[in-house]
């Protein structure tokens, strides 16, 4: 009995996620087939017309020239659309904060922090999570997700985002990923604010823990294979928790992002929205998420003056 095209696609996509997470090579069929952009069935990679829906499939888009499809130099996963945007936004904010730190420290005749460190005052000005949230500066719950305190901080977080972001975006879809990333990141800082209302913190790690939680939550729908994958993800959680014990990190934000991601990964259906109303809803939520992020940065820029 043949497997329905949509079920076959879901199975192949799940295997791809597991393979990339464990550092393994993809199976041979994954390089000879691709997804129809109209009905989402797996078809021959060189097919000009989908044999199932009859629609033209368009040209094949090459991604990178490495030996492993979807990875730079066969090692680093290529971020997909929303993942790339978030990575670029984090790097841009780090460059701005580093430039402001250099100017601030030079003006005050102090040496700049080592290892690409960012001044605490600069982070506060650019929207770190701080007690000012309780005074109405809600946008700090968003802007804090894109700020980092140094090279090691942003390096670790971006490495995790480049690795995990494409997996979540592949398993769900770009619109869902955009919403889930924002929600888990904000949830992490909300718990951080409740746990330490007078503390300050920055970083994308709450949202990154949210991505891990999303993958763990989704794995419960995939039987024994999901259980094996879940055990690998829990190791990530344990390593990050141990790191948090010995270093000054916002463990409350990590826990808030993780638990929110667990719930969303379990409850939100995987893949593209199945119906037109569902598609319209997720599109609207994604647009709203982008507007919230944009509005947060606008409000941050206004208070700089």
Output the CA torsion sign for 87, 93, 99, 104.
Answer: negative
Question: How far, in whole angstroms, is CA 299 from its chain's centroid?
Answer: 23
Contacts of 110 (CB under 8 A, 6+ apart): none
Of the candidates 205, 219, 289, 296, the residue annotated as catalytic is 205
Active-site residue flag, 219: no
Active-site residue flag, 222: no
Q: How many CB atoms lie within 10 A of CB 202?
A: 29
Contacts of 244 (CB under 8 A, 6+ apart): 251, 254
Contacts of 104 (CB under 8 A, 6+ apart): 119, 121, 122
Of the candidates 192, 254, 289, 296, the residue annotated as catalytic is 254
Q: How many CB atoms lie within 10 A of CB 128?
A: 25
Which residues are annotated as catalytic? 205, 254
């Amino acid at each position: 009995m043949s497997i329905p095209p949509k079920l076959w696609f879901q199975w192949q996509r799940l295997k791809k996620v597991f393979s990339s997470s464990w550092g393994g090579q993809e199976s041979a069929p994954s390089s000879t087939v691709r997804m129809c952009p109209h009905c989402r069935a797996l078809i021959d990679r060189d097919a000009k017309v989908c044999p199932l829906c009859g629609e033209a499939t368009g040209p094949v888009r090459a991604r990178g020239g490495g030996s492993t499809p979807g990875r730079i130099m066969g090692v680093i996963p290529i971020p997909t659309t929303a993942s790339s945007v978030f990575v670029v936004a984090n790097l841009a904010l780090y460059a701005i904060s580093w430039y402001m730190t250099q100017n601030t420290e030079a003006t005050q005749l102090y040496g700049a922090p080592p290892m690409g460190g960012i001044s605490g005052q600069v982070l506060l000005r650019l929207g770190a999570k701080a007690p000012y949230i309780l005074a109405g500066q809600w946008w700090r719950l968003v802007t804090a997700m894109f700020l980092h305190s140094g090279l090691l901080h942003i390096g670790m977080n971006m490495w995790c985002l480049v690795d995990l972001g494409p997996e979540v975006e592949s398993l769900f879809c770009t619109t869902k990923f955009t919403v889930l990333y924002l929600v888990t990141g904000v949830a992490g800082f909300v718990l951080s604010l409740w746990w330490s209302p007078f503390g300050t913190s920055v970083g994308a790690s709450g949202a990154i823990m949210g991505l891990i939680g999303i993958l763990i939550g989704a794995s419960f729908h995939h039987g024994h294979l999901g259980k094996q994958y879940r055990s690998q993800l829990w190791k990530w959680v344990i390593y990050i928790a141990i790191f948090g014990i010995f270093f000054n990190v916002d463990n409350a934000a990590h826990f808030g992002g993780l638990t929110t991601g667990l719930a969303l990964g379990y409850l939100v259906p995987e893949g593209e929205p199945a119906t037109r109303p569902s598609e319209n809803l997720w599109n609207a939520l994604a647009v709203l998420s982008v507007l919230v992020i944009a509005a947060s940065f606008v409000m941050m820029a206004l208070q700089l003056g």
